[in-house]
Amino acid sequence: DAGITQSPRHKVTETGTPVTLRCHQTENHRYMYWYRQDPGHGLRLIHYSYGVKDTDKGEVSDGYSVSRSKTEDFLLTLESATSSQTSVYFCAISESARPYEQYFGPGTRLTVT
Amino acid sequence: SQQGEEDPQALSIQEGENATMNCSYKTSINNLQWYRQNSGRGLVHLILIRSNEREKHSGRLRVTLDTSKKSSSLLITASRAADTASYFCATDAGVDSNYKLTFGKGTLLTVNP
């Protein structure tokens, strides 16, 4: 998985609790992305980062925040988890914004009860 | 909103047969990429075709792009059971999209031994 790890790999949490997912890369790639994957919706972009402390919103950013204080780490926080945020979350990295391919982590399965 | 839409949603073939998947998109693109996802894993980049290219090959993969019809096809020749996976197209609309990829919902390919 191209030097990308995600933690935790599985998490069950209760509605209303904050949750932080971590993506760690060893490739020194500039761009990092958080996606969620849901049946019938495919892969949707939540937030992305184009450098340390530089982030922007994606298609489905409501209820999520991100931080990137180091090149290698990109954190996704669910400020107050809801059942609609039950999903599989993937981190991806890219050497450049265009036209290069993205490399994906193994995913985090999050269940909000 | 989804930019690319794959067709069919599911495809079941016998080992040794060819598999063809199609992707249609709505706006002008800079490039189009195909990814594979094995069950429970992250996406893996297969091939990238630029907007000024019409056909590209990589091993048993053949990708075509018709920008006038806003469509692409992925052909896997002499399929193997190990090709069983979901296949996604992803479009890069270039500067208009801040170079973010937009993924389709995928085609689930099952190759029966």
Contacts of A105 (CB under 8 A, 6+ apart): A1, A4, A5, A6, A23, A90, A91, A92, B42
A95: in domain:
yes
Distance (Å) from the C-alpha of residue A6 to the closest C-alpha of chain B?
A: 11
Whether the per-residue pLDDT at A98 is higher than 60: the answer is yes
Contact with chain B for residue A41, Cβ under 8 A? yes
B111 and B11 in contact (C-beta within 8 Å)?
A: no
Distance (Å) from the C-alpha of residue B79 to the closest C-alpha of chain A?
A: 24
A27 vs A100, more confident: A27
Max intra-chain CA distance, chain A:
40
Question: How far is residue B45's CA from residue A3's CA, in Å, rounded to a whole number?
Answer: 15
Whether the per-residue pLDDT at A94 is higher than 50: the answer is yes
A110: in domain:
no
Element (DSSP H or E) covering residue B55 = strand B55-58
Distance (Å) from the C-alpha of residue A106 to the closest C-alpha of chain B?
A: 5
Count CA atoms closer than 13 A to A70's CA, side-chain side. Answer: 8
A12: in domain:
yes
Q: How many domains does chain B have?
A: 1
Structural domain span for residue A26 = 4-103
Contacts of A56 in chain B (CB under 8 A): 98
The sign one gets for the Cα dihedral A104, B69, A98, A70 is negative
- Which neighbouring-strand residues pair with A12? A111
A87: in domain:
yes
Whether the per-residue pLDDT at B107 is higher than 50: the answer is yes
Q: What is the DSSP string of B2-45?
A: -S-EEE-SEEEEETTS-EEEEEE-SS--SEEEEEEE-TTS-EEE
Question: How far is residue B1's CA from residue A93's CA, in Å, rounded to a whole number?
Answer: 22
Whether the per-residue pLDDT at B106 is higher than 90: the answer is yes
A23: in domain:
yes
B84 and B77 in contact (C-beta within 8 Å)?
A: no
A11: domain CATH number? 2.60.40.10
Q: Where does the pLDDT of residue A40 fall: very low under 50, low under 70, confident under 90, or very high at 90 and above?
A: confident
A109: in domain:
no
Contact B45 A101 (CB under 8 A): yes
Strand order, beta sheet including A73-78: A4-7, A19-25, A73-78, A64-70
Distance (Å) from the C-alpha of residue B53 to the closest C-alpha of chain A?
A: 14
B13: domain CATH number? 2.60.40.10
Give the residue-averaged pLDDT of A33-55: 93
A45: in domain:
yes
Contact A98 B99 (CB under 8 A): yes
Structural domain span for residue B55 = 5-112
Give the residue-averaged pLDDT of B61-78: 97
Contact A43 B98 (CB under 8 A): no
Two tokens at B74?
């992925």
Contact with chain A for residue B33, Cβ under 8 A? yes
Q: How many domains does chain A have?
A: 1
A23 and A75 in contact (C-beta within 8 Å)?
A: yes
Question: How far is residue A52's CA from residue A8's CA, in Å, rounded to a whole number?
Answer: 22
Contact B101 A1 (CB under 8 A): no
pLDDT tens figures, B2-58: 567 888 999 999 999 999 999 999 988 889 999 999 999 999 999 999 999 999 999
